[in-house]
Structure 1
């Protein structure tokens, strides 16, 4: 992933450098040097994000916080020093780029984390794509307004807007520190516990409190404070200044977006929905909205506030739909453990259920005996079956905890009440937020009764007719925290 981030960062940086003349012209900049320096910074920023993600995932929040502080200090001290030396805006941008380089070097992983990548466990392309799309949308939403204001408005108005945006985004930076801590905690929380929901509630309330206090502070801040911070050349921002409403409106839009980020981050960590593309689409709506409505600065900010409220409402909807799936299962049932099962046997059973798929057409004749008559004592066969399973279900298998204990069990009819379908692909559309087996069955029956006969429904009906005639015994793979809690079907 680290190597891939360097490739992506380098490509983006080179593209930005190549387009520096056009971008400079669009932004009415005096020189393309500014964009070239930003291109270098972009190449550093992507791998820096990967290293910070490692610190975040390891709960090493102290080093993560220190990394952010060092970046800010290098940026501040470097900018002041280069301004004194007469480098002007070029010096400030150079300081920003240098701060990213220093932060990247400081985020070097500890020795015990530098492990060789296993060839049979490639990083999932789609997992990386989801994260990339999410952060691309985030970057666009956070920065595109300044770019467009620079294009549509005079230098004075663009400078005023940049100052307002700088102050307003403080609420986002404060909120992001809370969100950064929430993501790994939420992802690590057990799916059948309410710990994940508690993490969400706590984080959401903290960000709401930050936003409220910040807005209240902006409303009370006197104009003298802004003159001290921004210089006497800026128009008055505090008190009864007409620009105070700009400041409050922008901070409100940023606060609403911060709340939406809390929900999106939670949903990504819990794999409820894929919100990356939604946010990317909303970033495009921001661009279109500002292009359409830019009569004045108030209108530009109002467009963003309306769209951020729409984003917040949209990303909150799946959480309300999934409330029934979070209900505690009251029926414990009478599941009995029969024998412990090895990981190799689980892989063999998993693969047996998948071997009819098209991905295995080229292997079925030559390797069918490894699947249907497995020799679990052969290390070579076990490796081959693992490699075959990776072709279709590698991503799912890698998400299972490494210390999972596998058992062959016998279920009673009472146990069916605590079984859930796995929230992926077609089941996401069918289940409508509740993945309890009984509820999903009722939803399927309702679709069939209403005359709906899509491809997925047809497959389910064909499967029900095929199972009684099947000559190959088929296992059902369930996963849960313990024998008394909810169980989720991952295969079968």
Structure 2
């Protein structure tokens, strides 16, 4: 494994490798969902989509620990870093165990609320949760230290193992598909932990951060946790609510719509992963952070526009190629859903940028409009079209307020520099 990594490092720059790796991971995860959709059909795919949505929710919760690890891996060094990372690993594991127990204990209630075929899928998923939290802290260290080759490998390990194990089980075993999918997800959490930086921490360490540094970490953790909560709400509440309010067939159709329409968000995630440590480092070095923001916003804007145009002119062709004719019913909604996620992806770049600079107003704004989206879907869900329309409204309003904050904040900074 190490020999292979060193060979790759000598041929490709880490940033290039990470970009390529993210594209491959997102492509692999997309392939995973597409094959499930085609293989299972709309009814059974609705259950699979719940597991995938739970996986996305978990990734956002665990991302809190990853971003904290990434930021303070840049700021802390030597003994201070070791004390910090050891504490973070312990707390991540504890949170993982608590969430795992909650999912396992309430698995029957989850089955009833989401109208799934079995509660065993939630039991198996819950078992893997602590592994995912440890994996996320490990990834945060790689991200913060800019060890992008190792970061790429851990994402690839998770994605490839999930693909191979899940479809091997579905092919060879005649058993409840949702249970087999849950087994594949559980195994992928374990594989995703490698390579693991076990030498940098100890659960038994007696080292502790001083009060000021502990307060700095705590404040960033709280606001990041709040922001990731808004990400969970905006990204996943619609699928969960549709599964609750609509029958399995319509929920399966909507899941396929969401999967296609969110292409732009998954691509934007690649830039977000590079944005946070870069902005923190630039701020630490006393350099301007605005050019990197403008660079990433222009990238995401161009990508979003391209995807929306493609979904507008070729919706039936896209759906037919990706999911098959069984899903063509949702073709008219494709460009609209892509518009909602495209607008959200752009506003998300601004929020992560200011989060990196310890400015939290955009985070609060995301939370407000995330809750607005939930309220709108809860009130207006007479049809799938209505669900999509209210999301477009919420996301456009979110982007407008994020842009307003950006321009006001930028104007204020310019005035301060002129007076100096």
Fold agreement, TM-score > 0.5: yes
Q: Distance in 1 between matches of 2:133 and 2:345?
A: 22
Name which of 367, 372, 385 aligns with 1:285: 372
Residues 266, 296 of structure 1: alpha-carbon distance in 2 compared, 3 angstrom cutoff: same
Structure 2 segments unaligned to the other structure (5+ residues):
1-87
Q: Pairwise mapping of residues 133-172 of structure 1 onto structure 2 (< 5 A)?
A: 133-172=226-265
Q: Distance in 2 between matches of 1:53 and 1:166?
A: 26
Name which of 274, 278, 284 aligns with 1:185: 278
Q: Which residue pairs with 1:227 in the alignment?
A: 320
1:77 to partner: Cα distance = 1.5
1:108 to partner: Cα distance = 1.4
Q: Which residue pairs with 1:354 in the alignment?
A: none
Q: Which residue pairs with 2:6 in the alignment?
A: none
1:272 and 1:318 in contact (8 A); partners too? no
Structure with higher helix content: 2
What SS does the aligned partner of 1:190 have? helix
Residues 281, 7 of structure 1: alpha-carbon distance in 2 compared, 3 angstrom cutoff: farther
Q: Distance in 1 between matches of 2:400 and 2:375?
A: 20
What SS does the aligned partner of 2:118 have? coil
Cα deviation digits, residues 45-67 of structure 1 (max 9, x gap): 33332222222211222322332
Q: Which residue pairs with 1:102 in the alignment?
A: 191
Q: Which residue pairs with 1:130 in the alignment?
A: 223
2:315 and 2:335 in contact (8 A); partners too? no
Q: Pairwise mapping of residues 211-226 of structure 1 onto structure 2 (< 5 A)?
A: 211-221=304-314, 223=316, 225-226=318-319
Structure 1 segments unaligned to the other structure (5+ residues):
237-241, 332-416, 419-492
1:186 and 1:270 in contact (8 A); partners too? yes
Cα deviation digits, residues 430-483 of structure 1 (max 9, x gap): xxxxxxxxxxxxxxxxxxxxxxxxxxxxxxxxxxxxxxxxxxxxxxxxxxxxxx
Residues 272, 207 of structure 1: alpha-carbon distance in 2 compared, 3 angstrom cutoff: same
Higher RCO (CA-CA < 8 Å; seq separation 6+): 2
Q: Which residue pairs with 2:179 in the alignment?
A: 90
Aligned: 1:60 with 2:147: yes
Bigger Rg, structure 1 or 2? 1
1:167 to partner: Cα distance = 1.2
Q: Which residue pairs with 1:118 in the alignment?
A: 207
Residues 287, 30 of structure 1: alpha-carbon distance in 2 compared, 3 angstrom cutoff: same
Q: Distance in 1 between matches of 2:391 and 2:259?
A: 15
Q: Distance in 2 between matches of 1:183 and 1:296?
A: 38
TM-score by length of 1: 0.61
1:172 and 1:258 in contact (8 A); partners too? yes
Residues 43, 300 of structure 1: alpha-carbon distance in 2 compared, 3 angstrom cutoff: farther
**Greater Cα shift, 87-96 or 318-327:** 318-327
Q: Which residue pairs with 2:121 in the alignment?
A: 34
Residues 38, 315 of structure 1: alpha-carbon distance in 2 compared, 3 angstrom cutoff: farther
Q: Distance in 2 between matches of 1:220 and 1:16?
A: 42
TM-score by length of 2: 0.71
1:268 to partner: Cα distance = 0.6
Structure with higher strand content: 1
Cα deviation digits, residues 265-291 of structure 1 (max 9, x gap): 000111223444433333322221111
Residues 244, 281 of structure 1: alpha-carbon distance in 2 compared, 3 angstrom cutoff: same
Q: Pairwise mapping of residues 45-444 of structure 1 onto structure 2 (< 5 A)?
A: 45-84=132-171, 85-87=173-175, 88-103=177-192, 105-109=193-197, 111=199, 113-114=200-201, 118-121=207-210, 123=214, 124-190=217-283, 195-221=288-314, 223=316, 225-232=318-325, 234-236=326-328, 243-327=330-414, 418=420
